[in-house]
Amino acid sequence: MFVVSFFVLGSAYAQSADTAHVYDPKANAEKNIEAAVKKAKAEHKFVLLQAGGNWCSWCLRFNKTVTEDVQLDSVLNANFIVYHLNYSPENMNRDEFAKLSYPQRFGFPVFLVVDDKGKLIHTQNSEYLEEGKGYNKDKILQFLQNWSPKALDPATYKFADNGK
């Protein structure tokens, strides 16, 4: 499975007010994903890969939603290294999408959660986070929390009485 990360550009783009150019068709996705996984491991986070392109209004809308809402931005940055994996006529990143089990089958954007070892652990269809002509904040928050490192840490579920 696969990890997505482009921590240098991904982090910069995730915070960028320029919502029209969050994807970089010229980026080396393989190297950027490797860097994102390395950074996620060092920071005890996962990688959130947002696959799509600058041509995709829903992709840009999601980025704007999570970066402009203080609570969503906080939860996102506390738990994930974000990388925008480009899919466009200029660069379809075929090899990377193949490694990720062809998530484009769900349309765009599609979200992939990769653990700090580079293993794909979840693919999220954007449709389940949408509401009307936008995104539902509560659904996004639930998605981010349910796929955070803490949510998947076995220690979170140990009983206080005997450690089981």
User: For 16-59, how does the pLDDT look when each residue is reduced to its tens digit (9 = 90+)?
Assistant: 444 578 999 999 999 999 999 999 999 999 999 999 999 999 99
Quick one: pLDDT at residue 131?
Answer: 96
Spatial CA neighbour of 144 closest among 120, 124, 130, 118: 124
What pTM was estimated for this model as a whole? 0.85
Give the homologous superfamily in CATH for domain 7-157.
Glutaredoxin (3.40.30.10)
First to last CA, the chain: 30
Rounded Cα–Cα distance for residues 2 and 119 (Å): 5
Domain ranges of the chain: 7-157
* Token couple for 84: 């925008």
Mind listing the pLDDT tens digit for each residue in 107-148? 999 999 999 999 999 999 999 999 999 999 999 999 999 999
Using CA atoms, how far residue 107 sits from 2, 50, 87, 135, in Å, is 18, 12, 11, 16
